[in-house]
Structure formats: C-alpha cells, structure tokens
Structure 1
Amino acid sequence: MFIWLWAGLVLWGTLRACSSCYGLAWFDFCAIDSEKRPSENLGQVLFGERIEPSPYKFEFKKKVDCKPVCTKSYNTNKPEDKAHLDFLKKGMLLNYQHHWIVDNMPVTWCYDVEDGQKFCNPGFPIGCYVTEAGRPKDACVVNSDFKDKDTFYVFNHVDITIHYHVVENEAAGARLVAAKMEPKSYKHTKVEAPDCAGGPMYLNNKFSGELKIGYTYSVQFVEDTHIRWASRWDYILESMPHTNIQWFSIMNSLVIVLFLSGMVAMIMLRTLHKDIARYNQMDSVEDAQEEFGWKLVHGDVFRPPRKGMLLSVFLGSGTQIFIMMFVTLFFACLGFLSPANRGALMTCAVVLWVLLGTPAGYVAARFYKSFGGEKWKTNVLLTCFLCPGVVFADFFVMNLILWGEGSSAAMPFGTLVAILALWFCISVPLTFIGAYFGFKKTGIEHPVRTNQIPRQIPEQSFYTRSLPGIVMGGILPFGCIFIQLFFILNSIWSHQMYYMFGFLFLVFIILVITCSEATILLCYFHLCAEDYHWQWRSFLTSGFTAVYFLVYAIHYFFSKLQITGLASTILYFGYTMIMALIFFLFTGTIGFFACFWFVTKIYSVVKVD
C-alpha cells in the first residue's frame, strides 16, 4: 500500500508568508510536475491554500534511510541562480515554513518547550539564520552546531515518523494516527550518493561561487495502540501555545462580562420600573408638565431618521451577516467545521451569506418603509450591491496585488467568476424576493403617534452628546472579545490552528448581550436628556466596537508580525478593513435592534395623554 505525501508551502493569504508574495515555484525546492494537483474547495482558494504534489513518497511499513529526492545546483555568477539563493535566504530570515500533509493529517514538528512540555508545530522552517553577532534566530536555537556568524543553515533533510494502529476486520489493515518529523541539515559528503553525514548545510551570507544542496529524507513506521482514530488531532491541539493561559483568560473575561451585564440589566429594570410606575400614576396634565425625561419625547421618538435609506441598507446587510455568523459557529461547535475539514469554515460562511439574501432584503425593505421611504427600487439595489460591492472591490484590489506579485495565494480568474455568479445569480434574486415581501407588508406599527412639528432638543451635557456616548459604547463589547481576537488573528496571520469554537460561540453570545445592554443603557440616558435621535446613535454606539477592533489590528501588525514591503502592508490592511466593515455591520445591527425593542417596549407600557 502506497501513501502519497502532499507537500505545499501553504500561504493562507498571510503576510508572514507573503513578505514578497511569491509562490512555491520561486523557492526552487524539489517538485514533481507529472502528477495532477488535488482540487481545493472554495474556502481553501479564498484563504490562499494551494496543495502541490510532492516527490517525497514512501511505502507503508517500509523503512527508508537517507533517500535522495533531488539536488539543486547554484552558481552566484548566474543572475537566475543568484536570485533563487537570495530569495531562499530571505525566506529563512523571515522564518518561512513548509506545510506538509499526509492522509489529511499535518506533518508536525514536535520539540520541547519550557516546563518540560512539547509543542507540535504543523509546519517546519526551510532554514534558519545566525546573526553577525553570533545570535541564533528561530529554529537555529535547537542545534548547538549552528554557530557560524552571519550564516544561513538549510534544512535539507527530514526524518519522518508515521504512527499507525492496526484495525481488525477491515480491508485497510491499518490507520495513520500521527505524522511527525524532525528537520535536519546535512552537508552530504557525496551529493550524488547522499549518506546523511558531515556537518550542517550552511550558506554564508557573503557566499559566492558554486553550491549544491542535496535534499533527502528518512521514513520509519511506529505502531501506536493508544491513539484512537477519532482523537488523532488531539496531540496537535493540546500542544498549542498558551492553551492554559487562553482558558484562564477566556473564563476571566466571561465572568467579568457576565457580572457587568447583570449589573446593567438590574439597574435598567429597577430604574425603568420606577419611572413607568410614576408616570402611570399621574392624574393631571399639570403633573406631567412638571416631569422631565423620556416620556416628554414620546411624540418624536419614532420620527424617521436622517439618511434612513442608508440605515435600512446597513440593517439588511447586518442581519445577513448576523445569521451567517450564528449558523456557522453553531455548525463549528458541532464539529462539522473542524481543522480536519480544510476550508470548510470559509466555504460554509460564503454559501450561507449567498443563501441569506432574503432576510437582508426583507429587513431593509421593512425598515425603509417604516421610515417613510418611497424609493423602493433604490433601496433594493443598494441592499444587493452596496456593502457586498465594497467588500468585493477591496478583495479584488488585494487579488490584483497578489497577481502582480506572482503569489500562489492569488485567486484564479475562474473562481472570481464563480463568486460573481453566486452573488448575481443567487444572492441578488433572493434579496429581491425578500424585499418584495417586506414592501408588501404594512409598515411597522408604533405604540405612539409622531407629532408633526419636531420637538426642540435642549442643550446637552458632554456625557449625553452623541460622540462621547458612541466612543464609550464600544469599550465594553470590545473588552469581551479582545482575548479571542488575539488567537483568531494568530490563526489567520501566524499559521496557528484555531479549534476552540465552543468558547468562540459562547463569546459570540456574550458579545450580542453586551452590545445590546450597553446600547440600551446609553439610549435610555439620551432619552432622559430629551434627545430622541436614537436610531443612528444606537447603530453607531455598538458599531464603534469595530473601530477598537481596527486599532487592535494595527497594534497587532506592529507588535506581532514581521512584515516588510509595501505590497504586504497594503494586503494586511486591505483584508483588515474587510473584517472591520463586516464587524461594524454586525455589531451595529445588534445595537439597533436592541434599542428598537427597548424603545417600543417602554412606550407601549405607559399611558400617553
């Protein structure tokens, strides 16, 4: 039985692996062109994951020692060879990594870390570098032989260990439960007939002349009866960095947020209960005129907001995103979108977004009609094309940059056409159907009538003005997500697996609750100050969480990533802006619906003369 090892430099669209945005072929590693590449799903293509066939092959239970793969020869006097060497050195300097998979399992490099624990990295570096001061960087610290100053060491040999267990009463006979490897560097004494002897394969930074690098590998098989097939990913996930710290931080964040949410809910319920009881006990108009607060603006609180068309479009797109995220995370919690199903998370999100055009059109139409709007055609078209168009335009510009730089993470033209077909042929018609039913229904009935003449808003204090309230409103929601945000950004930009979808779903629910309560609280304060412009303020208050997200992403860029080059910087911030826009629509919609429910509720339970 033969097992094929598929190896690829998985770029994921990350800037860590896109400092100069070149694909696999530019690294001049051993390759095989005679075999067909496996097909990727939509999620893998969107993430820039490309799988290439590998010349590293082995037969089950057949031990291999120092088997040659290929030999690469370079002459620095030739411009093409010098360019390949320079790029190889740049890749080692930036800690580029190979990502191999066998039987859908990542080939991991397990090494000891602090406290006697092991960390299994689903990738291994192409090499490492010792600085001019003699300080080893990255993987060079694991080998004491790497000590020459201003020198690059190439990992041109791998020791692969396949762990398997025998399955009784099955034709397959055995199952692979783990694939581990150890990268090594050998300057083979005979490159044509390698023996995996001699010192490390080094390359001085100022080297000139001819150089030969021989790539080899060894394979051994180990029977392991302790690892079950269903748990074969556990040894990777359990060794992820700072797992214990992540659990503690998440629990700490949840306790704090739940406590604050309980306090907000208690204050709101007690205060509103007293207000409603006091207002309902008034017997005369004179008593009502002596009162100030939220009841005095009952004739203006449902007045249509300015730019109601834009707000309704944002609400429709936000509803679409909210349902998509909820269903995606729910399926992820059930295990359908685990790391073993490559690209499934993004594929599920895109398909759900396409199919949820009907709720987007319905919500946008319903609220636009309640705002008194009559340009229904414009409303439907903006719902179909405004927010998705901005995201697609940003993504297309990023893809053009990847195309221009020759990156393998660039999306093929055919995939772009397929995405446009999904958008125009499925999402747009569904949005029109939802808008048809939204406009067909009667407008939203409000519990109080709206006065013809707008009430004058008194001068507001600093704390009840719009901008301070909006800025303060996003702090609490961001406080409950920033820990998860760190690990999510690590999984996107630093090739770390994210698998704690249960905690992510719990944080998602708490984020919804926190956005709702924080926005309701600020809305109540503004209504008590006789400021009845709550629609846009409620949307922007919780939506301002996206601004904190953007600031945190900028901090992450400068503190955690090693990105060089204008193209890579543009790519990072381009993709970050897409995430910030989606998060803005998501949180803003939550805040608006929470305040809409709150305002409708309180004005429906009081007597209005």
Structure 2
Amino acid sequence: MYVRLIGDSKLPIGVSVSGVPLPFTQSELDSVESVLPYEYTAFDFCSEKTMKRPSENLGQVLFGERIEPSPYKFEFKKPVVCQKVCTRTYDTNNPSDKAKLDFLKKGMLLNYQHHWIVDNMPVTWCYDVEDGQKFCNPGFPIGCYVTEAGRPKDACVVNSNFNEKDAFYIFNHVDITIYYHIVEHEQLGARLVAAKIEPKSYDNPNNDSPCTGGPKFLKNKHTGVFNIPYTYSINFVEDKNIRWASRWDYILESMPHTNIQWFSIMNSLVIVLFLSGMVAMIMLRTLHKDIARYNQMDSVEDAQEEFGWKLVHGDVFRPPRKGMLLSVFLGSGTQIFIMTFVTLFFACLGFLSPANRGALMTCAVVLWVLLGTPAGYVAARLYKSFGGEKWKTNVLLTAFLCPGVVFADFFVMNLILWGEGSSAAMPFGTLVAILALWFCISVPLTFIGAYFGFKKAGIEHPVRTNQIPRQIPEQSFYTKPFPGIVMGGILPFGCIFIQLFFILNSIWSHQMYYMFGFLFLVFIILVITCSEATILLCYFHLCAEDYHWQWRSFLTSGFTAVYFLVYAIHYFFSKLQITGLASTILYFGYTMIMALIFFLFTGTIGFFACFWFVTKIYSVVKVD
C-alpha cells in the first residue's frame, strides 16, 4: 500500500484524520499566452521558507514543474475564516520594488495561473461556461486587467465590480473548499475526493476585518507605496457520492471539447480502417495475379515480354546512395519506435496517468537511454547489407547524430529559458545528469548493439544484384519521386490530426491529456497506414521500373512529419494567443524537435514495411 507521512503518522495516500496537517504544495505558474512558466516565488507571493522543498523527478524537471511548500497552512476538518498569510509592500520609488510590481502586472496582463496541489489533487477553479456547463480548471489566475477603454480581460469578466479603467485587479484572497468522505471499513479517518477554490479580491481597508471592502486594484500608472495583503478561508464538506478512485473524473469530464470529440475520433478510425482494408485487398489481388502470371512464363518468348516490377529484380537490392545516413536514421527511428510503443503501453495500463506527475516524460527518457542496443544493431546490420565498410563512422553517427541535433536544439531553448528566468530552464546539474545518461549508458549500449550487428552475417537477399545498373525509363508525373513522397504522407496524417489537436492542447494550452487508450489505438492505425501507403507507392514505382525504393520508402511515410509541422504552424496562429519573441522562438524550437522525432519514427515504419514487401514478392517469383 502506498503511504504518505503526515507529521509523525503514517497514512495511506488520500486518507486524513482530524487535526492532522494536510500536504499542501504549489507548482509553477503558466499561461496560455506565454510558453514561459515561472516558479511560484518569481511573482513575490507569500512563501514558506522553513519547510524543505519537495523533490521532483526527471519528467517534472523537463516540463518545468517546480513544486514548492505552501505558506497556506490548515488542518483536516478545522475550518479557517479569513486567515492572513502575509502582506507585500511595494514602493515605486525603489527600483527593486518597482521591478517586482511591474513583473506582477506583466503576469496579470498575460493571465498567468496558480497551480496548487493538496494531497496530490489539483485545486480546481470551477465556473460556468456556455450551455449551462461547468468547467473545472486545475488553476486560477493571479489577477486580471481592465483596459483603458473599460473592457475587462480574462477573469475580470466574472465580476461586474471590476470596472476601473486601466487597472489591474489582484486576487489576494481565496476561498478553499475541501470535499471528503468518511472511510467506513478502515479505522483511519476520511479520504479527500476534491479540492475547489474561488479567487476573490478585497481592498482590506480595515486590518481588524481584512476580508472586507471593494476589490483590490492597482492603477497601471500608480506611484508611491502599494500594499497587497494575502488572506484565505477554508471549509470542509462531506460528500458521499464521489469515490476516492474516481476523484479525478470531475476535472477530466469538464474539459472543453472532450465529449464532442469522441464521435469524431471513432469516425476517423473507422474511415482509416476501411481505407486500409481497401488498399490491402487491392494489393493482395493485384500481386496474386502478377505472381501467377510471372510464374507461368516458361518459354524464352514469354520471358522477353516481361514488364513491370520483375524487370528490375537485378537492381532492386542495389545499395542506395547515402546508405550511411539512411542506416543511421533507421537505427534512431527503431529506438524511437520501441520507446513510443512501450511508453504508450504502460500509459494504457494506468502507470503514467496525470496523477503521476512527470512519469510519462521520465519513462520515455529512461526507455530511450536503455534502447541504445537496438539502435546500434539495426544501423550496423543495414549498413553492412548496403556494403558499407566504415563501421566506426556508422556507430559514432548512430550514437551522436540525431541525439546531438535534439540536444543542441534543446540546449539553445534552455539558454533562452535561462535568460528569461523561467522555471522551465533546466538546472546545470540536471543537464550534466542528462549528458551522463547519454554518454555513460546510451552510447555504450549503442556500441554493443553495433558490435553484434557487424559481427552477424549480412542480410541475404532473394535475388542477385547485377553489376551494371539498369537504366530507369522516363517517369510520368505521378511516379516521380517528389509527387509520390508528398502524396504518401496524406493518409497517415489524416488518422492522427484529431489526436494531434489534443496533444498540442495538453502541451501548449496546459490541459490534461488522459485518453491514452485512444492514443495507443491511433498509434497502431498510424503504423498500419504508413506501412500500406508506402507499400502501395513502392509497388507503383517498381511497376514503372524505378528501383530506388530505399530512400523513397523512408521519405514517403516520413513526409507525414512535414504535415505535422504545417499543422503546428496553423495551430500556433489560429488556436494560441502566444505573444513575445522568446515564446515564439521556444514554440517553434520545441516543435522542430517533435517534428524530427516524428520524421524518424514514421520514416522507419515505411522503410521496414517496404523492405518486407520487396523481399516477399521477389522471393516467391521464379527468377532465371
């Protein structure tokens, strides 16, 4: 049983007893209008300096989730009414105070959100949206802004009293409601099932009753001294209807677009399955006729009338140009493919749910590090089959080329985050740890895999390769390389773009992603679709007597990443409200990393599908 320590008592997670302090922490602040998250203390809020900061796993550090102890103290089933936490005083004549106040105003202008956690549950702000539905946001704003024209922005629309022009309204008071139910069969107390918050603003003119007065606002051009007192109230409500195992449901079910997209996802999957079945049926019937006709050719006259893909049997396994680079890409793609499959499989089993913060990224990174052996083996084996002899260069490129490009991009993005003072900036010690995982574990495993790959005999092809390359006839527009590559990525992208919308929302709009079952199903459909689309185009090109299929098969399915990149650009300009040069650079920098990983992943699927197809069809045909 999982346990947590509260004081000197040891209780299961989610179970509390009266008078025991509840574990209450605060995460980073983020915004949909900025890619830069900040630590809680960056905005000069009340802080807790006596308690030790909770430790974070690798995934939390990579995502910039900085957990800090909270100065808001309360004990289970002990209500608190208007408890004062601290008062912050700023003097605009002091440059340091003015900088802190300007940064706070910038946070309110960009609608930065608090993220509080109680007993591993996000504290949610629930409010009504269109059609009478209620949306529960796992965060609440630090404040809001009313423009010079008197138009309220963001959270200022919820209160008609926020009507001062060119002013910032500060949410300096919160009403917290903790929902629990009594544990009947355990002599341990109660289980926490929900935590909701309502941010408020009080001017607090009277220190004896601080939660009074109108809303607290700061004029944009304020000069002089400005005080911000922070207060809170807590109430406990028993709720017997919510089960502890389902305590996340009210957050997930209220997320926008979730309910209306189920039908769209199913519709997309059905269409893709239908198209995949049609392609597979056409291919099987056509190939069956071709193979039967070719095997019935016994006379020389019949052999002279051969046409189509059998004519290039002596060149189809000819080593491709830039075989070194192709083998390196395929080794890295194999590593990414296995990592993705295992990560999604664990996510479907519930091990990587949103409740396990940072677990998804931690699992992916650890798996990538441990999967260096398959990468080295595949790259070495294919490079040897291409007739390559520079095995040292091959293994070094496999270990350093693609990971090096990703790390270089990530390091540049990290420098920008350092310069902006963001919590997403990875500490120097963590960077050293990442490099140690790469150089001390992944690289040696890649060398081991390459050793076994080169040691093993080369791949035996079903037909011999002629010494003199066959001349490729003039190709029509549809069988030329570029049009075929462009067309090949359309169908695979069509089966993922709905899930891609949810994934981008979870990354850039800070929404929870939990539909791993559907994502795993889409992953399987993507593999099938990439394979069938690439095989189909490969067959057409072989029939047109063009035997350069290795790079084309990789690029055909890999071109799906180009559509992904175009969609990400469209998503940036149509769905996001990101402002600022740094945020824009960060968005496209991280998007390029995702596009590169997706390119290697899909390209590897297409290559191995075509490799299996070409080997299969030429092994069942009698070749003189």
**Short-chain TM bin:** over 0.9
The secondary structure found in structure 2 opposite 1:29 is coil
Q: Which residue of 1 aligns with 2:353?
A: 338
Q: Which moved more, 1:526-535 or 1:279-288?
A: 279-288
**Letter of the structure 1 residue corresponding to residue 116 of structure 2:** W
| In structure 2, distance between residues paired with 1:349 and 1:120 | 29
Confirm or deny that 1:36 pairs with 2:52.
yes
Q: Which residue of 1 aligns with 2:483?
A: 468
Query: What does 1:266-277 correspond to in 2, within 5 Å?
Result: 266-277=281-292
| In structure 1, distance between residues paired with 2:600 and 2:587 | 20
**Quick check: 2:46–2:85 contact (8 Å CA) kept in 1?**
yes
Q: Which residue of 2 aligns with 1:148?
A: 164
**Letter of the structure 1 residue corresponding to residue 235 of structure 2:** Q
| In structure 2, distance between residues paired with 1:400 and 1:171 | 52
How far has the Cα of 1:283 moved from its partner? 1.9
| In structure 1, distance between residues paired with 2:209 and 2:445 | 62
Q: Which moved more, 1:168-177 or 1:519-528?
A: 168-177
Q: Which residue of 2 aligns with 1:8?
A: 27
Q: Which residue of 2 aligns with 1:308?
A: 323
Q: Which moved more, 1:180-189 or 1:77-86?
A: 77-86
The secondary structure found in structure 2 opposite 1:306 is coil
Q: Which moved more, 1:81-90 or 1:46-55?
A: 81-90
| In structure 2, distance between residues paired with 1:10 and 1:42 | 19
Confirm or deny that 1:531 pairs with 2:571.
no
Which of 386, 405, 427 pairs up with 2:401? 386
| In structure 2, distance between residues paired with 1:150 and 1:256 | 52
| In structure 1, distance between residues paired with 2:311 and 2:445 | 42
| In structure 2, distance between residues paired with 1:563 and 1:239 | 24
1:166-205 per-residue CA deviation (whole Å, 9 max, x = no partner) reads 1135353111111111111111122x44431111111222
How far has the Cα of 1:131 moved from its partner? 2.2
How far has the Cα of 1:24 moved from its partner? 3.3
Query: What does 1:161-310 correspond to in 2, within 5 Å?
Result: 161-190=177-206, 192-310=207-325
How far has the Cα of 1:206 moved from its partner? 2.6
| In structure 2, distance between residues paired with 1:175 and 1:44 | 26
Which of 141, 144, 166 pairs up with 1:125? 141
**Quick check: 2:253–2:259 contact (8 Å CA) kept in 1?**
no
The secondary structure found in structure 2 opposite 1:57 is coil
Confirm or deny that 1:590 pairs with 2:590.
no
* TM-score (norm: length of structure 1): 0.97
| In structure 2, distance between residues paired with 1:217 and 1:481 | 45
How far has the Cα of 1:560 moved from its partner? 2.2
Q: Which moved more, 1:73-82 or 1:42-51?
A: 73-82
Q: Percent identity?
A: 87
**Quick check: 1:108–1:120 contact (8 Å CA) kept in 2?**
yes
How far has the Cα of 1:132 moved from its partner? 2.6
| In structure 1, distance between residues paired with 2:42 and 2:346 | 38
How far has the Cα of 1:528 moved from its partner? 0.7
| In structure 1, distance between residues paired with 2:22 and 2:58 | 26
Q: Which moved more, 1:42-51 or 1:170-179?
A: 170-179
1:501-548 per-residue CA deviation (whole Å, 9 max, x = no partner) reads 000000000000110011011101100110000000000000011111
Structure 2 portions without partners, runs of 5+? 1-19
| In structure 2, distance between residues paired with 1:603 and 1:133 | 74
**Letter of the structure 2 residue corresponding to residue 418 of structure 1:** A
Alignment length (residue pairs):
605
| In structure 2, distance between residues paired with 1:30 and 1:365 | 57
**Quick check: 1:319–1:363 contact (8 Å CA) kept in 2?**
yes
**Quick check: 2:35–2:586 contact (8 Å CA) kept in 1?**
no
| In structure 2, distance between residues paired with 1:586 and 1:136 | 46
Query: What does 1:314-353 correspond to in 2, within 5 Å?
Result: 314-353=329-368
Q: Which residue of 1 aligns with 2:111?
A: 95
**Letter of the structure 2 residue corresponding to residue 49 of structure 1:** E
How far has the Cα of 1:457 moved from its partner? 0.3
Query: What does 1:401-440 correspond to in 2, within 5 Å?
Result: 401-440=416-455
1:326-376 per-residue CA deviation (whole Å, 9 max, x = no partner) reads 000000000000001000000000111111111111111110110011111
Q: Which moved more, 1:167-176 or 1:116-125?
A: 167-176
| In structure 1, distance between residues paired with 2:21 and 2:187 | 15
* Pairwise CA RMSD: 1.4
| In structure 2, distance between residues paired with 1:167 and 1:65 | 27
Q: Which moved more, 1:1-10 or 1:588-597?
A: 1-10
Q: Which residue of 1 aligns with 2:16?
A: none
**Quick check: 1:4–1:57 contact (8 Å CA) kept in 2?**
no
| In structure 1, distance between residues paired with 2:532 and 2:127 | 46
Q: Which moved more, 1:88-97 or 1:140-149?
A: 140-149
Confirm or deny that 1:51 pairs with 2:67.
yes
The secondary structure found in structure 2 opposite 1:589 is helix
| In structure 2, distance between residues paired with 1:499 and 1:17 | 23
**Quick check: 1:15–1:568 contact (8 Å CA) kept in 2?**
no
1:297-331 per-residue CA deviation (whole Å, 9 max, x = no partner) reads 00000000001111111111100000000000000
Structure 1 portions without partners, runs of 5+? none
Confirm or deny that 1:159 pairs with 2:175.
yes
Q: Which moved more, 1:100-109 or 1:160-169?
A: 160-169
| In structure 2, distance between residues paired with 1:193 and 1:296 | 95
Change (3 A) 1:582 1:105: same
**Quick check: 1:130–1:150 contact (8 Å CA) kept in 2?**
yes
**Letter of the structure 1 residue corresponding to residue 113 of structure 2:** Q
Which of 466, 487, 510 pairs up with 2:502? 487
**Letter of the structure 1 residue corresponding to residue 79 of structure 2:** K
**Letter of the structure 2 residue corresponding to residue 336 of structure 1:** F
How far has the Cα of 1:22 moved from its partner? 5.0
Q: Which residue of 2 aligns with 1:111?
A: 127
**Quick check: 1:22–1:405 contact (8 Å CA) kept in 2?**
no
How far has the Cα of 1:565 moved from its partner? 2.6
| In structure 2, distance between residues paired with 1:158 and 1:487 | 31
**Letter of the structure 2 residue corresponding to residue 456 of structure 1:** Q
**Letter of the structure 2 residue corresponding to residue 5 of structure 1:** F
The secondary structure found in structure 1 opposite 2:160 is coil
**Quick check: 1:109–1:182 contact (8 Å CA) kept in 2?**
yes
The secondary structure found in structure 2 opposite 1:55 is coil
The secondary structure found in structure 1 opposite 2:362 is helix
1:191-227 per-residue CA deviation (whole Å, 9 max, x = no partner) reads x444311111112223223221111110000111111
Q: Which residue of 2 aligns with 1:498?
A: 513
Q: Which residue of 1 aligns with 2:459?
A: 444
| In structure 2, distance between residues paired with 1:448 and 1:138 | 68
How far has the Cα of 1:93 moved from its partner? 1.5
Change (3 A) 1:194 1:31: farther
Q: Which moved more, 1:70-79 or 1:482-491?
A: 70-79
| In structure 2, distance between residues paired with 1:291 and 1:205 | 82
**Quick check: 2:150–2:163 contact (8 Å CA) kept in 1?**
yes
